[in-house]
Amino acid sequence: MAGIVGYGAYIPRNRIRVADIAKTWGADAPSYERGLLLKEKSVPSPDQDTITMSVEALRNALQRAKIDAQKIGALYIGSESHPYAVKPSGTVVAEAINAIPDCHCADYEFACKAGSESMFVALSLVEAGQVEYAVGIGADTSQGAPGDALEYSAAAGAAAFIMGKTNVLAEAVVTYSYMSDTPDFWRREHEFYPRHAGRFTGEPAYFSHTIGATKGILEKAGMKVSDFKHVVFHQPNGKFPLRVGKMLGFTPEQLEVGLLTPTLGNTYSAASPLGLTAVLDIAEPGDQILMVSYGSGAGSDAFIWKVTDKITAVQNAAVKTRTLLDENKVYIDYGTYAKYRGKIRMNDNN
Amino acid sequence: MAIPNYWRSIPQRYRYEAAKCTGCGKIFFPPRIVCDECASRSFETINLSRYGKIVTFTVIRIAPSQFVDQAPYPIGIVELNDGIKICTQIADCNPDDLKIGMPVRLEFRKISQDGTPGIIQYGYKAVPVK
């Protein structure tokens, strides 16, 4: 059975506290922290973007997979912050790991669901026997307009998965996708910051699609919520995944390991994929994991993974996600954050 | 840097590809056509280690226009575990915390970009290993 043969994460070192963003805009920090269940978020350095983070996450995945990168026949990156409007991110990443030239490559975009899209297609190609190994990456250096609610959560990170059929760490038991045309969040061509429809992003968007995908995959698999040791939902803030989990009957313990947002922020395309890497870091053979992404526009991809006995040998083969999240952090102030994120208007010669 | 020049150096910038002389074993980074040790023209391609240590460094405080958002930043000479010394920016650090001999790892980073409409050039930077 096809599944994940290698996984890796990358999170930039910089953090900014929600309280420091709120202070800049005269907002009430405790209400934002409580409302979003969010204390701080990751911030990329000026020399980091979706491509650089994808390379580092994939290098970590290769350390676990221990495969020859030349055997990777497809590489996909899902992101809403590809550095180029026209020129693929994937070619740079494929060059960096030496997966060129016998490789199919594409960049995906579907708001926060782009990462799980890339995983879905990579897995499907392996299942179909088209390629021996395929890579799916979710990565973002997401932006929120200054002072907008999104600015408190928009963060940066990447997660990479190598799909294959031999030495599988987590088998893909079943997949399911659920979507509709729901315009809850968007960014038009040439616009710098995304727009959103406020509270409309909740019930008809995130909750409707996440619940639809979860119920759909459980029915397709003939499984129930108690069959899972861990569940990972898309996590635009700390509150939504906990609430949708409760609505579906999951316990807080099932969500705990994969819920990174309170100290990471919303890494968009990398959000649920990064949650999955944190779960795989501590998973035990036989554990069943449910992962449900959500991307505005809107849709959810759902996966059921079954962990194999190969997992324990590779968990320490690369840096763990919790280590990246909890250690070696550097806190920056709002001015430094604004400079790093290109929010300060400069003269043309700069 | 001109695009063709950058493109030609991608194997070194992205994958740290070096040439190892099959005659005497000397490693060249970037690769050369003739070994200056034994005059051999036969080389095998190897990938240098991503790990090494800081040999020396200086801190750039008045940066060129492309790098003002990163100043102050250290530039140093790093000796990789293969014995090869490279000149590179040292990222993700407080310059005051750097020390000669400090272990570092090469990470994939943006090096420069040709303004906002031009290409982005990627490569390696050293990051202290905790």
Give tens-digit pLDDT for A62-72.
999 999 999 99
The yes-or-no verdict on residue A206 having pLDDT over 90 is yes
Give tens-digit pLDDT for A39-51.
999 999 999 999 9
Which helix or strand (DSSP H or E) is residue B53 part of? strand B51-60
**Domain match, B43 and B53 both:** no
**Domain match, B17 and B69 both:** no
Q: Counting beta carbons within 10 angstroms of the beta carbon of residue A146, is it exposed (0 to 12), middle (13 to 18) or buried (19 or more)?
A: middle
- In 3D space, the residue among B81, B75, B7 whose CA is nearest the CA of residue B46 turns out to be B81
**Domain match, B68 and B127 both:** yes
Give phi and psi for A236, each to the nearest 5.
Answer: -70, -20
Q: Judge: B108–A95 Cβ closer than 8 Å, yes or no.
A: no
**Domain match, B16 and B63 both:** no
**Domain match, B58 and B25 both:** no
The yes-or-no verdict on residue A350 having pLDDT over 70 is no
Give tens-digit pLDDT for A239-270.
999 999 999 999 999 999 999 999 999 999 99
**Domain match, B68 and B21 both:** no
**What's the CATH code of the domain at B81?**
2.40.50.840
The yes-or-no verdict on residue A194 having pLDDT over 90 is no
pLDDT-derived band at A79, boundaries 50, 70, 90: very high
CA–CA distance, A284 with B128 (Å, rounded to integer) = 32
Q: Please, what are the domains in chain A?
A: 3-169+318-340 (3.40.47.10), 170-307 (3.40.47.10)
Active site (annotated) includes residue A171: no
Token pair in block for residue A20: 């420091």
Q: Which residues contact B105 (CB under 8 A, 6 or more apart)?
A: B50, B51, B52, B126, B127, B129
**In chain B, how many domains are there?**
2
**Domain match, B33 and B70 both:** no
**Domain match, B57 and B39 both:** no
Domain enclosing residue B110, as ranges: 49-130
Token pair in block for residue A321: 């996600």
B14, B92, B107 ranked by CB distance to A95: nearest: B14
**Domain match, B57 and B113 both:** yes
Chain A residues in contact with B14 (beta carbon < 8 A): 92, 95-96
Q: Name the minimum distance, in Å, from the CA of B88 to any CA of chain A.
A: 14
Chain A residues in contact with B94 (beta carbon < 8 A): 330
Tens digit of pLDDT at every position of chain B (130 positions): 899 999 999 999 999 999 999 999 999 999 999 999 999 999 999 999 999 999 999 999 999 988 888 899 999 999 999 999 999 999 999 999 999 999 999 999 999 988 888 999 999 999 999 7
Q: Would you call B15 an interface residue with chain A, using a CB distance cutoff of 8 Å?
A: yes
Q: Judge: A349–B65 Cβ closer than 8 Å, yes or no.
A: yes
Q: Judge: A47–B130 Cβ closer than 8 Å, yes or no.
A: no
DSSP letter (8 states) at residue B49: P
Q: Which residues contact A199 (CB under 8 A, 6 or more apart)?
A: none
**Domain match, B78 and B115 both:** yes
Domain contains B2: no
DSSP letter (8 states) at residue A204: I
The yes-or-no verdict on residue A296 having pLDDT over 80 is yes
DSSP letter (8 states) at residue B67: G
**Domain match, B58 and B41 both:** no
Show the 3-state SS of A157-223.
Answer: EEEEEEEECCCCCEEEEEEEEEEEEECCEECCCCCCCCEECHHHHHHHHHHHHHHHHHHHHHHHHCC
- Intra-chain end-to-end CA distance of chain A, in Å: 53
Domain contains B20: yes
Q: Which residues contact B26 (CB under 8 A, 6 or more apart)?
A: B20, B35, B36, B37, B38
Q: Judge: B70–A327 Cβ closer than 8 Å, yes or no.
A: no
**Domain match, B30 and B71 both:** no
CA–CA distance, A149 with A145 (Å, rounded to integer) = 8
Domain contains B27: yes
Q: Are A63 and A317 in contact (CB under 8 A)?
A: yes
Active site (annotated) includes residue A112: yes
Q: Would you call B122 an interface residue with chain A, using a CB distance cutoff of 8 Å?
A: yes
CA–CA distance, B37 with B28 (Å, rounded to integer) = 11
Domain contains B13: yes
Q: Are B89 and B71 in contact (CB under 8 A)?
A: no
Q: Judge: B110–A46 Cβ closer than 8 Å, yes or no.
A: yes
Given B31, B48, B65, which residue is the final one in a domain?
B48
Say which of A82, A105, A112, A209 is annotated catalytic: A112
